[in-house]
Amino acid sequence: MSTEASSPSRHILLLFAHPSQARSEVNSVLFNAAKKHTAVTAVDLYAEYPDFNISIEREQQRLLEHDVIIFQFPMYWYSTPALLKEWQDLVLEYGFAYGKGGDALKGKQFLCAVSAGGREEAYQTDGFNHFTLRQLLQPLEQMASITQLTFLAPFALFGSRTAKEEHRITLHSAVWTKLLDSLAQDTLDITKARQLENLTRYFDEQDLHK
């Protein structure tokens, strides 16, 4: 883990959307870890826009200034919390993010850091939720395609509501920091990172101790 790394080559914009952070056990830990990372601009969207009055200009400027964009959110009704949808609806304008002259996001990397209350077994074709998490995130994958962002696999924690009592958050947070390091230093194997179902599988146990 290196939050004190030599100056990072790339800048990461973390857009965090959680409507009830006071009760958060998982995302608050990841968000606080990210805030300490030198390469990360950590934005708490619900704190910044409690009335959903999003500044399109400010958000577009932030996008221009970063190389990697991360949406961090708890899965709510198989999708993002409402403010993150509002953010997409307003900020990803024609002529900026897509359409004629809309190349602002071209070549930047994009991923979702998601927590889901359901267990991984439930997120299978023959499971309780009928679809995998990656399948459920396809609207975001297609958003990335239209806006010329490079979509990476989601970084997902399942069974999030029991993660604390099952002592799974510390390891997840360590993998998260490792991921942020790799994104900042541009050392990820992008082909592999695009193909996985879950980016948590990118690193093996040995990597985490390096």
Ligand X SMILES: Cc1cc2nc3c(=O)[nH]c(=O)nc-3n(C[C@H](O)[C@H](O)[C@H](O)COP(=O)(O)O)c2cc1C
Which chain residues interact with ligand X by CB under 6 A? 23-27, 74-78, 115-118, 160-161
Provide the strand spans (E) within 27-149. 40-44, 68-74, 109-115
Angle of helix 27-35 versus helix 169-185 axis, rounded to 10: 40
Residue nearer to ligand X on the CB measure, 28 or 185: 28
Helix (H) or strand (E) holding 116: none
Nearer residue to ligand X within complex by CB, 4 or 77: 77
C-beta of 26 vs 144, nearer to ligand X: 26
CB-wise, 40 or 116, nearer to ligand X?
116
Least distance in angstroms from the C-beta of 86 to ligand X: 16
Residue 103 Cβ, how far from ligand X at the closest point, in Å? Answer: 34
Q: Do you know the residue count of the chain?
A: 210
CA distance 138 to 136: 5
Two tokens, residue 48: 């910044």
Please name the residue that has the structure tokens 């990820």: 188
Shortest reach from residue 119's CB to ligand X, in Å: 8
Q: Which residue is nearest to ligand X (CB)?
A: 117
CA of residue 138 relative to chain centroid, distance? 14
Smallest gap from residue 156 Cβ to ligand X (A): 10
